[in-house]
């Protein structure tokens, strides 16, 4: 390689041929934030600048980021350019970086005879020199030990020309880095530059120069923060402060001394950072100072960092970064006004045995909007979601059951009730638009059976099944909820639920199918119709055994058939064994929500199937829920075609 020395080469940017080493322009950072921190960056690397200092730190990125620097240094003869881009993905963080130096019109020098001074050599042409590295970066957070790994694949290109000479060199190498976070406020890092070793080969002369770098070790400690979960200490006077220390260990480079870098970063405001550092360079040590300003997704960084031992160096460093941000904007578009009346007590579709209840309700209107929320990452993406929302507005002119009341907002009024279904209504109008809104609640007043008080766990299914005419009590006004239900009683329940025409009913009353089901018994037509509908069957000896108490497995099986649930085998209760005959009915019944009352319990298939259980399971079936909804909406009950006279037998 041609041994030509220029003033800029003395500054350390280009090849010192006799030493056999070449300079990696990416090993020294010239970005504003890094220089403001005195070159300390292994633990701070949480933005695109980390490509050069610690690629594994890129796993902290939430958004795509970019950074760029272009400036003149060293007596304004050298152009220095830095560009980096990185983006997080589901597969890790990818990035690309470029660092280049270019020297043009640099005159060769010589020793003046007699004075031994270094002077420009007028007999030689001005020379130019380029040195650049292109990096492809990847970083990945590992799923254990709070450890992340990263690396740079680097491609070097150098050229020199002028003075009657010219040559070009290239090489490839690799940086490997790791970041470990043993604590949320402590980050330790390492970056091994150019671990493959090797050399840069000059095409024209065949000479080679060793490609060295630094093995960098360091970390950052977050001293102060908003809480002890993210910082070592908390202090109301210090919003956020971090300190860092890096050690550079030279590997195959001219300067053989280890270098220290110390930095501190203080964030007094969300948009501003103050920095200071101690930068140790081959020529000596010097203090650095810096400031950074952030506006939305962009950050501007400035640093003052005089580099010891380099005459004429420009100590001012500037960089502009895109660091990403997600802004949220919300807009509303009015749609319409609706009722916002909310019955607090009693709720709609309530049961009570009281003659008078105190009704408490919020009497308001809903001003309904389409609310559009937009999330924007500047320069990259914008997503939006539209959903309906509303504001509540107090009503004026409030009326309760058409009678005016002198209350606003949350009202409280007494309301007398009749036996049966009662409607309680409120209305009013919006003060500005004069739009009238109203709402009503339905309250069922009943006289419960003597042995099923309003606090009974199955009071709702027992009451509604009774109101619908599906289940009956005994002449003494008892229900006997814990008594096992017989085959005849359950068959009657199911037949009452179905719509039966008069012709079929008359036929059922006259056609006896079993020898123990006699005419004139209250359950005879129900049993005959139940067999015809496929709900029940008799025994091989020609009997039906109408007074036999069903066990739980038998009762649930009959109700699952009634609900037309598809058979599905499998043990769904802890005490049921695989292969049990009723599993194919019990499993679909549980999946359909018919067995909520057994949640967290054993099934106990041989237990008597109590009347209260039968009322609950039947109540949860779709046919009964349709009848219940019809009753609450209209107050009407669709009765089965045909009823039997009341007897002393239970129904």
In a domain, 505, yes or no: yes
CA-nearest of 7, 10, 223 to 127 is 7
In a domain, 140, yes or no: yes
Q: Do residues 380 and 529 both lie within one domain? A: no
Query: Can you tell me the distance from the alpha carbon of 165 to that of 204, in angstroms, rounded to the nearest whole number?
Result: 10
Q: Are 263 and 53 in contact, with CB atoms under 8 Å apart? A: no
Q: What are phi and psi of 120, to 5 degrees?
A: -65, 135
Give the per-residue pLDDT at 310.
Answer: 60
Q: Do residues 464 and 410 both lie within one domain? A: no
In a domain, 591, yes or no: no
Q: Do residues 419 and 477 both lie within one domain? A: no
CA-nearest of 138, 65, 62, 53 to 99 is 53
Q: Do residues 260 and 356 both lie within one domain? A: no
Task: Say which CATH number the domain at 261 has.
Answer: 2.40.160.60
Query: Can you tell me the distance from the alpha carbon of 261 to that of 303, in angstroms, rounded to the nearest whole number?
Result: 15
CA-nearest of 584, 590, 591 to 567 is 584
Which residue in the block uniquely carries the two structure tokens 């990452």?
A: 377
Residue 31 tokens read as 């970005």
Q: What are phi and psi of 315, to 5 degrees?
A: -85, 5
130 Cβ contact partners less than 8 Å away, ≥ 6 residues apart? 100, 101, 102, 103, 157, 158, 159, 160
Q: Are 385 and 372 in contact, with CB atoms under 8 Å apart? A: yes
Query: Can you tell me the distance from the alpha carbon of 380 to that of 22, in angstroms, rounded to the nearest whole number?
Result: 39
The phi-psi region of residue 401 (left if phi > 0; otherwise alpha if psi is between -120 and 50; otherwise beta) is left
In a domain, 597, yes or no: no
Q: Are 185 and 233 in contact, with CB atoms under 8 Å apart? A: no
Half-sphere exposure of 576 (CA within 13 A, CB side): 23
Q: Do residues 182 and 33 both lie within one domain? A: yes
Q: What are phi and psi of 363, to 5 degrees?
A: -105, 95
Give the distance from CA 369 to its chain's centroid: 25
Q: Are 5 and 109 in contact, with CB atoms under 8 Å apart? A: yes
Give the per-residue pLDDT at 76.
Answer: 60
Question: What is the CB neighbour count within 10 angstroms for residue 384?
Answer: 11
Give the per-residue pLDDT at 561.
Answer: 87
> Residue 187: which domain range?
7-314
In a domain, 641, yes or no: no
Q: Do residues 424 and 360 both lie within one domain? A: yes
Last residue of a domain, one of 445, 475, 499: 445
Number of domains in the chain: 3
Look at the pTM and tell me if it is higher than 0.85. no
Q: Do residues 384 and 487 both lie within one domain? A: no
Give the per-residue pLDDT at 165.
Answer: 67
Query: Can you tell me the distance from the alpha carbon of 620 to that of 144, in angstroms, rounded to the nearest whole number?
Result: 48
Task: Say which CATH number the domain at 391 has.
Answer: 2.60.40
* 346: preceding bond cis by omega (within 30 degrees): yes
Give the per-residue pLDDT at 575.
Answer: 94
In a domain, 272, yes or no: yes
Q: Do residues 349 and 206 both lie within one domain? A: no
Q: Let me know the angle formed at the C-alpha of 66 by 157 and 280, rounded to the nearest 5 degrees.
A: 65
Q: Are 430 and 337 in contact, with CB atoms under 8 Å apart? A: yes
Question: What is the CB neighbour count within 10 angstroms for residue 165?
Answer: 15
Helix axes 622-634, 487-497, angle to 10 degrees: 50
In a domain, 645, yes or no: no
Q: Do residues 432 and 486 both lie within one domain? A: no
Last residue of a domain, one of 412, 445, 478: 445
Helix axes 583-591, 552-562, angle to 10 degrees: 60
In a domain, 69, yes or no: yes
Residue ranges, the chain, pLDDT below 50: 1-19, 640-651
Question: What is the CB neighbour count within 10 angstroms for residue 89?
Answer: 8
- Render pLDDT for 252-273 as a digit per residue (tens, 0 to 9): 776 668 899 999 999 998 899 9
Half-sphere exposure of 74 (CA within 13 A, CB side): 21
Last residue of a domain, one of 445, 475, 495: 445
Question: What is the CB neighbour count within 10 angstroms for residue 272?
Answer: 12
Q: Do residues 159 and 270 both lie within one domain? A: yes
Q: Do residues 440 and 464 both lie within one domain? A: no
Residue 456 tokens read as 């009974």
Q: Do residues 386 and 525 both lie within one domain? A: no
Q: 493: which DSSP letter?
A: H
């Amino acid at each position: 390689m041609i041994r030509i020395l220029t003033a800029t080469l003395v500054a350390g940017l280009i090849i010192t041929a006799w030493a056999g080493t070449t300079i990696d322009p990416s090993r020294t950072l010239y970005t504003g934030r890094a220089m403001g921190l005195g070159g300390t960056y292994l633990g701070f690397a949480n933005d695109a600048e980390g490509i050069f200092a610690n690629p594994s730190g890129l796993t902290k990125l939430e958004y795509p980021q970019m950074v760029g620097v272009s400036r003149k240094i060293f007596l304004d003869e050298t152009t220095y350019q830095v560009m980096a881009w990185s983006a997080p993905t589901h597969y890790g963080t990818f990035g690309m970086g470029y660092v280049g130096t270019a020297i043009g019109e640099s005159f060769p020098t010589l020793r003046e005879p007699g004075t031994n001074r270094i002077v420009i050599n007028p007999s030689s042409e001005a020379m130019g020199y380029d040195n650049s590295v292109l990096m492809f970066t990847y970083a990945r957070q590992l799923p254990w030990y709070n450890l992340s790994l990263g690396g740079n694949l680097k491609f070097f290109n150098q050229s020199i020309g002028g003075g009657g000479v010219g040559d070009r060199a290239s090489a490839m190498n690799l940086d490997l880095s790791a970041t470990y976070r043993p604590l949320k406020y402590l980050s330790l890092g390492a970056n091994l530059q150019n671990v493959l070793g090797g050399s840069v080969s000059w095409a024209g002369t065949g000479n080679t120069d060793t490609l060295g770098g630094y093995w960098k070790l360091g970390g950052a400690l977050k001293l102060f923060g908003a809480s002890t979960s993210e910082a070592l200490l908390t202090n109301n006077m210090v919003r956020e402060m971090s300190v860092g220390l890096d050690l550079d260990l030279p590997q195959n480079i001219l300067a053989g001394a280890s270098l220290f870098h110390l930095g501190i970063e203080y964030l007094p405001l969300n948009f501003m950072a103050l920095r200071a550092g101690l930068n140790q360079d081959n020529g000596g040590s010097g203090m650095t100072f810096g400031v950074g300003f952030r506006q939305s997704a962009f950050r501007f960084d400035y640093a003052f960092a005089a580099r010891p031992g380099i005459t004429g160096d420009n100590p001012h460093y500037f960089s502009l970064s895109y660091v990403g941000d997600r802004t949220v904007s919300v807009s509303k578009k009015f749609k319409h006004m609706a009722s916002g009346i909310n019955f607090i007590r009693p709720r709609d579709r309530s049961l009570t045995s009281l003659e008078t209840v105190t009704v408490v309700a919020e009497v308001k209107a809903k001003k309904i909007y389409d609310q559009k929320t937009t999330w924007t990452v500047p320069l990259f993406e914008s997503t939006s979601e539209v959903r309906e929302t509303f504001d509540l507005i107090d009503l004026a002119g409030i009326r309760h059951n058409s009678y005016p009341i002198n209350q606003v907002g949350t009202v409280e009024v007494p309301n007398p009730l009749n036996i049966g279904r009662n409607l309680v209504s409120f209305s009013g109008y919006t003060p500005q638009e004069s739009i009238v809104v109203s709402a009503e609640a339905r309250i069922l007043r009943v006289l419960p059976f003597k042995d099923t008080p309003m606090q009974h766990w199955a009071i709702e299914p027992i009451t509604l099944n009774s109101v619908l005419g599906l289940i009956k009590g005994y002449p003494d006004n008892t229900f006997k909820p814990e008594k096992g239900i017989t085959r005849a009683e359950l068959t009657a329940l199911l037949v009452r639920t179905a719509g039966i025409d008069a012709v079929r009913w008359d036929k059922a009353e006259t056609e006896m199918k079993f020898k123990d089901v006699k005419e004139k018994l209250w359950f005879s037509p129900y049993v005959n119709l139940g067999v015809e509908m496929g709900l029940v069957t008799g025994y091989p000896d020609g009997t039906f055994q109408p007074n036999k108490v069903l066990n739980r497995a038998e009762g649930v099986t009959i109700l699952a058939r009634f609900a037309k649930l598809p058979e599905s085998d499998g043990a769904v209760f802890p005490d049921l064994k695989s292969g049990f005959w009723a599993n194919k009915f019990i499993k679909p019944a549980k999946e359909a929500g018919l067995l909520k009352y057994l949640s967290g319990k054993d099934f106990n298939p041989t237990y008597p199937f109590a009347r209260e259980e039968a009322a609950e399971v039947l109540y949860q079936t779709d046919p009964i829920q349709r009848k219940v909804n019809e009753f609450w909406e209209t107050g009407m009950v669709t009765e089965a075609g045909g009823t039997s006279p009341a007897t002393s037998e239970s129904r």
